[in-house]
Structure 1
Amino acid sequence: MRRVGYERSGGPDVLELFSAEVPTPGPGELLVKVQAIGVTLPVVRKVRESADPIPLGGEIAGEVVAVGDGVTGYTPGYRVVGLCFGHGYADYAIVAARMASPIPDGASAVDAVALVRSGLVALGAIDAARPEAGETALITAAASGVGHLAVQLARVRGASHVVGAVSDLAKADFVRELGADEVVTYDAAAWGAPADYAVDAVGGELLGPALAAVAPGGRLVAYSSGGGTIQAYDLLAEAKAVIGFQIRRVAETTPEIYRHWRDELWQYFASGQVRPVHTEFALTDAAAAHALVEARANLGKVVLIP
């Protein structure tokens, strides 16, 4: 089978296509014939920054072709989406059965990989803000794989006004089509209407401006892998709150909430309230896919198709 990997850290051009043996599922594992792979910014960053090469894992969707000992509920032929912690950029990949879930009828593997993990992050981050009907929501990275779903989910959760923040106004029409009332760029003097809550996917030097865009008494949910620093006084002066969110913690500590959010997402998809948007690349074009994400030029989810 084919597998994408790298032998030295660096930019997208270090990615190579290798030949590898089809893996064998161990106890509690599924062997999946991969039909779609989600490309995420954290994985792109790891390729550039990791001291030693790591497996390119993450979100995959496809068809179960074999199961390991102790697996119940799945048999060959099931369509699943889940997290692969090993080599996921491949024709076949291993997924722990506990990290997999069925793909409902009427949804494709691409829909699943674009919706489930990114949608779980988006929905979880919004719910962490404890939204109330009629509030104004600010979504940073509003055209990204997570952000474009967060724009839609903020409305589902009752926001009466949604502001999308992006790196380039070329993304504005796309974000408005998703339902945003305003679209601003990060270098704007003000980020639209003061937000009752904001969910920030960017971090770094933009964490401060994101907090400044929140109204007095408002909430900022930070879920970026980009870090960032804010001053305590900026919280005290206007009684603002900052909340950290990590989807992996939810999955591990409160799996019932994780499953509830997942079921909600599929309901929103079936009803048309949430529409995942994606850009497809062939597995052999993984470098181009990484370059698009690294440049933050993607509109919606970037997906590799073996």
Structure 2
Amino acid sequence: MRRVRYESTGGPLFLEEVPVPEPGPGELLVRCEAVGVTLPVVRKVTEAAEPIALGGELAGAVTAVGPGVTRFRTGQRVTGLCFGHGYADYALLREAMASPVPDDAGAVDAVALVRSGLVALGALAAARPERGEAALVTAAASGVGHLAVQLARVRGAARVVGAVSDPAKAAFVRSLGADTVVRYGDDGWGEPVDYVLDAVGGGLLTPAVAALAPGGRLVAYSSGGGTVQAYDLLVGAKSVIGFHMARIARGRPELYERWRQELWRLFGEGALRPVVHGEFALEDAARAHAAIESRSNLGKVVLRP
């Protein structure tokens, strides 16, 4: 089978031929039909001290199951998070991280919706939204952000603001239901909001906190770091809440599953529309990474083995 890997930090991605892996205890062997490309993986390729396995979200058909697997069978279509080599024709998926794909949904829908949607829904839940509040979503055109814009509206936001790096993305973000679109470098982001869902971090934290109304909440779920001045929180009685999906997946599996079911329900009702920026072949994985690095994507970036 084919698999994408690289040999040194920031090094080129290339295809190699390797044997199809055998599923171990509690594992599924999945023939990959779609693989999601995420910013954390792209960052690790360019920043991690040692090469990593290119994993992430995937969807496809189960072709074999390992000892102890009870929830899935061969031929069943699943989606889930792969911690090993996922940029491949076949990948191993832990049973605990897998969920079934409905019959009326495609593999690309599953990859674009489930993991990114879980992060968006989880970050939104951390903000404790109340109906009628105003929301601001940074990276509003990204794989997670474009779903967060829609979910904020579904959860009752009266006004949704999308923040983007490039004004060329404004029409796309408005098509998702945003009332207003602002650019990161703008002087002020308009009327204050009650909560911010921030996927960028870094220097964007200061204007994000400034955009909050008194008593507002900022949910930080970015791997981009950054610093918030305590005084900026104190004077407006504002708060910053960290959100990390792994903590929910490991410690609150029942909540994780409930969110997953809600995403599929909203998708089935037409209330949530995942958008795919582009579908790339395995040999074009470098181009897929470039789309993420340049922040030019509108929606999810997907590999199609």
Q: Judge same fold: TM > 0.5, yes or no.
A: yes
- Which residue of the partner structure matches residue 299 of structure 1? 298
Q: Deviation at 1:193?
A: 2.2
User: Which amino acid in 2 is paired with 1:31?
Assistant: L
Tell me the SS of whatever aligns to 1:137: strand
The alignment partner of 2:35 has SS state of strand
1:4 aligns with 2:22: no
Distance 1:82 1:200 in 2: 24
Equivalent residue, structure 2, for 1:83: 81
Q: CA deviation at 1:287?
A: 0.3
Amino acid at match of 1:130: R
2:234 maps to 236
Between the aligned partners of 1:3 and 1:209, the Cα distance in structure 2 is: 41
Q: Please, what TM-score do these two structures have when normalized by structure 2?
A: 0.99
The aligned runs of 1:1-306 (5 Å cut-off) are 1-10=1-10, 14-278=12-276, 279-306=278-305
1:50 CA drift (Å): 1.1
User: What's the CA shift for 1:283?
Assistant: 1.2
Alpha carbons 1:136, 1:193 under 8 Å: kept? no
Residue type of the partner of 1:288? R
Alpha-carbon distance between aligned partners in 1 of 2:156 and 2:111, rounded to the nearest angstrom: 25
Take 2:2 and 2:206, find their aligned partners in 1: how far apart are those partners?
43
Alignment coverage as a number of residue pairs = 304
Residue 192 of structure 1 deviates from its aligned partner by 2.7
Cα distance in 2, alignment partners of residues 217 and 159 from structure 1:
16
Do the aligned residues in 2 keep the contact of 1:136 with 1:159 (CA within 8 Å)? yes
**Partners in 1 of 2:189 and 2:79 — Cα distance?**
36
SS in structure 1 at match of 2:163? strand
Structure 2 stretches lacking a partner, 5+ long: none
Q: Indicate the SS of the match to 1:159.
A: coil
Q: What displacement does 1:48 show?
A: 0.3
- TM-score normalized by the length of structure 1: 0.99
Structure 1 position 284, deviation (Å): 1.1
| SS of match in other structure, 2:254 | helix
Partner AA of 1:248 in structure 2: A
CA offsets per residue over residues 10-43 of structure 1, 9 Å max, x none? Answer: 16xx111111110000000000000000000000
CA distance in 2, matches of 1:202, 1:89: 25
Percentage of identical aligned residues: 70
Q: Match of 2:215, SS?
A: strand
Tell me which moved more, 201-210 or 141-150. 201-210
Q: Which runs of 4+ in 1 moved over 3 A?
A: none
Deviations 1:188-209 (A, max 9, x none): 0111321100000000111111
C-alpha contact (below 8 Å) 1:163/1:193 kept by paired residues: no
Cα deviation, residue 175, structure 1: 0.2
Whole-Å Cα distance in 1 between the matches of residues 51 and 236 of structure 2?
A: 45
Q: 2:189, 2:252 → 1: CA distance?
A: 34
Secondary structure, counterpart of 2:52 in structure 1 = coil
Query: Following the alignment from structure 1 to structure 2, what is the Cα–Cα distance between the partners of residues 208 and 18?
Result: 44
- CA deviation digits over 1:48-94, x for unaligned, max 9? 01111110011000000000000002111000000110000000000
CA distance in 1, matches of 2:120, 2:128: 13
Separation (CA, whole Å) in 2 of partners of 1:53 and 1:217:
43
Asked if structure 2 preserves the Cα contact closer than 8 Å seen for 1:200 and 1:224, the reply is yes
Q: Would the aligned equivalents of 1:183 and 1:192 in 2 still touch at CA under 8 Å?
A: no
Match of 1:282, as an amino acid?
A: A
